[in-house]
């Protein structure tokens, strides 16, 4: 097969190659001859990207079509728009082996995806309208090919690199960080070459800023190699130059399958929406005062938390129980082979510890002394081993105030004097016209065990004393005391 037939759109253009390369006899080329071929003469073909990973709410719209869910294995040929929702991610493999990861809340438009026949060259053009992408681009040095990302404020041309781009939601600021290779960021007819370990900003209507060093990777001394307890937290050392930190977790070391991605204003990250157990990699980096994200700290770890601890339902956290008979209830965990319940008088579970192993039930009933109690739950695995503890909750056993005793009512100085015995901080003295206290004609507050009440109308009445504690909880009333008020009273 001739060179023209193999490489050129029009094989008859071999004469242009002959002239350009000054070939005297095109039928007899010496071994190892290098030929220059203009890109516009090369055969071209679609070079679709393949969707390698989807997590969460990710939708794709073909050019002129309607949005539909994106699925792993889908082919993208150019002209498609992909939207990722909150806490959603997607990754792609381009025809030349380049990898692109699309973060959450990102709008990415796939432009030209072109291959050049037998040359193996590929030209990729993407349009990042909002959000974040990270790419590991295959190195191509051929003119007219390569990897280019257009944004509302600048164009990033890649020269064999690993990089991040962040297009602000308002469409006015582009941030670029380079981890390997180099990126040429062009705007306002000026290009800034950003090398590895540096980043730049490009604002609408302005040339890109001079590259600045990225913040170093965070320092962490006690990141776990194995995580067995929930909630899952990772902590690292603070940096006075850092305004915030990004924490990411992925299934793979190259972070093409991200399962967690969030910003934190303090050097601690909490991971709540947990996937299945397995091997993961934690990635941390700091953000400087310009919002540029720094170098990565990667830490592999094993997640081994299942079965998860059950979620407690009753009593409510901090609830007061009026009786010492407590019902502790929780939500069932499908994977659990039983549960371990611990109850103690202190939050560290060292004082008066009560421990019960129970089968696949969702409630236990237990008698407890007056006071504050703390409790927690763990699920048992197939071997009967308790896994991580759930959230510690507390409740109080505090009965209502006792019923007053020795209630006495007597007349004194034209008033009704009432005395009783009791320890409540507050009382209500109720006077009714019937012994069932359905027709209460007066209530009187007292904070001691004695009260004087103005003379009621002549008639027959019943009196009782009702105790209340400091929280307003009502105790049992005293027995009723009949009183008779005469006109001479």
pLDDT in tens, 20-34: 777 777 777 777 777
Q: Which of 29-43, 189-203, 239-253, 453-467 has the highest mean pLDDT?
A: 239-253
Res 254: pLDDT:
93
| Class of 405-485 in CATH | mainly beta
Asked if 427 and 446 count as a contact pair (C-beta separation under 8 A), the reply is yes
- Nearest of 405, 369, 105 to residue 261 by alpha carbon: 105
- Give the pLDDT of residue 115: 67
pTM over cut 0.85: no
Work out the average pLDDT over 264-268: 96
Where do we find the tokens 């993208």? 76
DSSP 471: T
Domain boundaries along the sequence of the chain: 3-41, 46-135, 226-303, 312-397, 405-485
- In 22-134, where does DSSP find H-type helix? none
Contacts of 425 (CB under 8 A, 6+ apart): 447, 468, 469, 470
Domains 226-303 and 312-397 share a fold: yes
pLDDT in tens, 54-82: 999 999 999 888 999 999 999 998 899 99
Give the domain 312-397 fold: Immunoglobulin-like (2.60.40)
CB 394 within 8 A of CB 315: no
Determine which helix (DSSP H) or strand (DSSP E) holds 148, and give its type and residue range. Answer: strand 146-150
Q: At residue 122, does pLDDT exceed 90?
A: no
Class of domain 226-303 as given by CATH: mainly beta
Please report which confidence band the pLDDT of residue 40 belongs to, taking 50, 70 and 90 as the band edges.
Answer: low
The pLDDT of residue 1 is above 50: no
């Amino acid at each position: 097969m001739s060179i023209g037939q193999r490489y050129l759109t029009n094989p008859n253009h071999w004469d242009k190659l002959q002239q350009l390369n000054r070939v005297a006899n095109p039928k007899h080329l010496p071994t190892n001859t290098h030929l220059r071929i203009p890109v516009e003469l090369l055969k071209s073909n679609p070079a679709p990207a393949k969707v390698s990973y989807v997590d969460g709410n990710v939708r794709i719209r073909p050019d002129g079509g309607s949005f539909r869910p994106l699925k792993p294995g889908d082919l993208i040929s150019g002209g498609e728009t992909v939207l990722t929702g909150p806490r959603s991610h997607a990754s792609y493999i381009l025809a030349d082996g380049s990898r692109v990861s699309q973060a959450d809340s990102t709008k990415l438009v796939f432009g030209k995806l072109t291959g050049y026949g037998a040359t193996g060259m590929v030209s990729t053009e993407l349009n990042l309208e909002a959000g974040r992408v990270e790419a590991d681009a295959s190195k191509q040095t051929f003119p007219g090919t390569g990897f280019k990302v257009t944004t509302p404020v600048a164009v990033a041309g890649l020269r064999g690199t690993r990089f991040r781009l962040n297009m602000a939601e308002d469409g006015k600021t582009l941030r670029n960080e380079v981890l390997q290779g180099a990126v040429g960021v062009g705007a306002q007819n000026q290009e800034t070459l950003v090398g590895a370990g540096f980043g730049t900003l490009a604002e609408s209507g302005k040339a890109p800023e001079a590259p600045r060093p990225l913040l170093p990777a965070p320092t962490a001394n006690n990141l776990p190699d194995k995580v067995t307890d929930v909630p899952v937290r990772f902590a690292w050392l603070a940096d006075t130059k850092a305004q915030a930190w990004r924490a990411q977790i992925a299934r793979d070391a190259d972070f093409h399958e991200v399962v967690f991605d969030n910003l934190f204003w303090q050097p601690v990250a909490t991971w709540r929406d947990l996937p299945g157990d397995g091997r993961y990699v934690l990635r941390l980096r700091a953000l400087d005062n310009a919002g540029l994200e720094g170098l990565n700290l990667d830490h592999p770890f094993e997640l081994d938390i299942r079965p998860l601890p059950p979620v407690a339902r009753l009593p409510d956290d901090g609830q007061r129980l009026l009786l010492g008979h407590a019902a502790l209830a929780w939500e069932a965990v499908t994977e659990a082979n039983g549960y371990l319940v611990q109850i103690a008088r202190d939050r560290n579970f060292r004082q008066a510890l009560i421990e019960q192993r129970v089968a696949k039930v969702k409630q236990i009933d237990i008698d407890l002394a007056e006071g504050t109690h703390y409790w927690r739950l763990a699920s048992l695995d197939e071997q009967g081993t308790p896994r991580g503890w759930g959230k510690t909750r507390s409740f109080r056993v505090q009965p209502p105030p006792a019923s007053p005793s020795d209630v006495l009512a007597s007349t004194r100085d034209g008033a009704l004097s009432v005395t009783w015995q009791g320890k409540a901080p507050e009382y209500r003295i109720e006077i009714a016209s019937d012994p069932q206290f359905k027709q209460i004609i007066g209530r009187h507050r007292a904070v001691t065990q004695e009260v004087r009440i103005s003379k009621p109308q002549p008639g027959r009445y019943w009196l009782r004393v009702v105790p209340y504690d400091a929280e307003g909880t009502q105790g049992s009333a005293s027995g009723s005391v009949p009183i008779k008020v005469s006109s001479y009273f």
